[in-house]
Every structure is written in C-alpha cells, then in structure tokens.
Amino acid sequence: MVMLFDIYNLPDDIFEVVFATKQQIIVGKLLVNYMKERGREISKTEMSELATRLHDGKVVAQLDDPEYKGKTVRLTYNKRQFYNRILTPMKAMGLIDYDLYKKTYKLSDRFTKAMTDLSRQWAEELKKEAVPTNMGRS
C-alpha cells in the first residue's frame, strides 16, 4: 500500500491518510471502534460476522462525519472489498495484528513503530554523501 500525503495539508484524521475514499474511511473507523468496544481484540468469527452484517446492510451506526452528524445510518459494504480494501491493508500497515494461534485480530501499535523506522531511514539518507552521476554533462 502506498500512502501519499502533503505535509502542508495534513488531515486531522489518520483514516484520511490511510484510506483513499470516504466510504473506506467510514468502514475503517467502524472496524476500529468495533474492536475498541470489545477490548481491542476480536475473534476471526466476530470479524466474519461484522463483514457479513456490512455486506447484508444490517449495520446501523452514528457517524462522526459532519455530513451525517447526529444521524443514524444503515451501512452496507461488500464483504470481499471489506477484506481486500479495509482489513488486509490495515494488517499490512501494522494497524491490526492477526494471532494465528488464538485466531484473533488485535489493534496494534506496529504502525507507529514502522513510521519511526521510516523517519530514521530518511534521516540516515540525508547524512549520506552524494554519489557522482555525471548527469547532464557531455
């Protein structure tokens, strides 16, 4: 997954950096909130049930989006896209971990550690000397 952002226009919401569309942001926030309500960890079965309920349009939620502020809305999201566009990228970025033995998904801080490692890599790159390229010289 590629994250593109503008340091001069950083959004107030991390989900706007992580996800490309408004619908993905809504579903990503819903998933994180669902996990927080359940002690930050849910079983594989609970994840599947959430994905199925979203697919069937049976999830009713209040959104913090200004457009829907204070309103209760029914959400629908394709189950396959939930796994492909929400859960899998969140696992790949270290936002969510999957425990193969317990068969549970858990909110993780590995994303924070990865961003720290990336900033360290950039700091090291800045310290390196230039390598002659002979660009533009005949």
Q: Which domain holds residue 74?
A: 11-127
Q: Beta-strand (E) ranges in 6-135?
A: 41-43, 59-62, 72-75, 96-99, 104-107
pLDDT, one tens digit per residue, over 67-104 is 877 788 999 999 999 999 999 999 999 999 999 999 99
Q: Is residue 114 a part of any domain in this protein?
A: yes
Q: Is residue 63 a part of any domain in this protein?
A: yes
- Kindly report each contact of residues 106-111 with a partner whose C-beta sits within 8 Å and lies 24 or more positions away, as own/partner: 106/35, 106/40, 106/41, 107/32, 107/35, 107/36, 107/40, 107/41
Q: Is residue 37 a part of any domain in this protein?
A: yes
Of 44, 57, 116, 56, whose CA–CA distance to 87 is shortest?
Answer: 44
137: pLDDT strictly greater than 80: no
Q: Is residue 4 a part of any domain in this protein?
A: no
- The pTM (predicted TM-score) of the whole model is 0.87
Q: What is the CATH number of the domain that holds 89?
A: 1.10.10
**Mean of the per-residue pLDDT values of the chain:** 92
Give the chain's domain count.
1
Q: Is residue 1 a part of any domain in this protein?
A: no
Q: Is residue 32 a part of any domain in this protein?
A: yes
